[in-house]
Structure 1
């Protein structure tokens, strides 16, 4: 398991920076700010969304494809990460929230009261998941045209 700084742990736990970490080992397409794209398998991702891809293909603005064994994408360059279709987004987020993206199996349960900040973060995560679930249900009920 990777070692993350406390700042990275915070970003992974409280923002969408968790996705590159959760997608390690999966093949993804990353759109960049300069109108180019990179496709490959995420080998390493940190809490700041810097990704190292293997077996990458760089796709330039004109559609030309350039293969690379290793390719690094800095966090500032990422516009969008396309999540593979075989991954259930809702279930992945629920599992990440339940187990924590960074947590190892605990030896003994943590005792003590949760702080207000922890309670509020958990409540917001639950509200977000509920809104996503309602939106997907509405999309499924809507007939295709």
Structure 2
């Protein structure tokens, strides 16, 4: 047997605010909050993904993340629409040395990098079925 991932933990100066931002970005909801608000978890309303737990830390982020999320535009949308939506929520473009990549590298309000990939899940599935 192997372990099951309970959640992905993200260090944060303000867990409630960052969890709310990511909840809005992902369409997720808060699923748990510690009594003192130092930890806040969000998850998919369908339960189909590993929850993310935002954990209060005192030290500031100083270097590029060693782990980051790669997001895809949802089916029924597209890269340009989703990029505009994420930028409108307050993410910013960042340069981590990616060069002329075909995806966008962005950062959330606390500077945590993430990527927006070009293709929707349906586009990737269609591509994979034609290359088998």
Tell me the TM-score normalised to structure 2 length: 0.27
**Greater relative contact order (Cα 8 A, min sep 6): structure 1 or 2?**
2
Q: Which has the higher helix share?
A: 1
